[in-house]
């Protein structure tokens, strides 16, 4: 079982719609969670981080964390074609591996006009 799993997609939504990206993790010791956006051929770029249960909003993006269910999600409101990219969910491993980010395989999002 992968430590961080994402709905593999691809996910296609019309412009202006809400895109919902989901992620589950297996390590209960994970304390911090991150969503990275990666355009084709480019490096990952951090768009959201979340550390506490509940919702965190930043502009059109909302991250949700439920540690009891070991579930993280990212909602993108008013999706734009420029949001089309691969979205990577990552968790900070627990224990002594403080430096290690564990990534999911990514979800490809396409926003069509």
The answer to the question of residue 15 lying near another protein (CB under 8 A) is no
Closest to another protein by CB, 18 or 46: 46
23 in Cβ contact with 4 (< 8 Å):
yes
The answer to the question of residue 61 lying near another protein (CB under 8 A) is no
Alpha carbon 21 to its chain centroid, in Å, reads: 6
The answer to the question of residue 66 lying near another protein (CB under 8 A) is no
Rounded alpha-carbon distances, angstroms, from residue 7 to 10, 59, 73: 8, 23, 10
30 in Cβ contact with 94 (< 8 Å):
yes
Binding track over 92-111 against another protein, x by CB under 8 A:
x-x-xxxxxxxxxxx-----
Token code pair at residue 2: 């992968």
Binding site for another protein (CB under 8 A): 4, 31-32, 34, 36, 42-46, 49, 51, 88, 90, 92, 94, 96-106
């Amino acid at each position: 079982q992968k430590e961080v799993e994402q709905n593999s997609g691809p996910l296609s939504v019309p412009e202006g719609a809400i895109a919902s990206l989901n992620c589950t993790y297996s390590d209960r010791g994970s304390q911090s969670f991150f969503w990275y956006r990666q355009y084709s051929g480019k490096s990952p770029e951090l768009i959201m981080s979340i550390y506490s249960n509940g919702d965190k909003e930043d502009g059109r993006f909302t991250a949700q964390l439920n540690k009891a269910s070991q579930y993280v999600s990212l909602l993108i409101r008013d999706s734009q074609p420029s949001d089309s990219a691969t979205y990577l969910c990552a968790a900070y491993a627990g224990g002594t591996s403080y430096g290690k980010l564990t990534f999911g395989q990514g979800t490809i999002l396409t926003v069509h006009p």
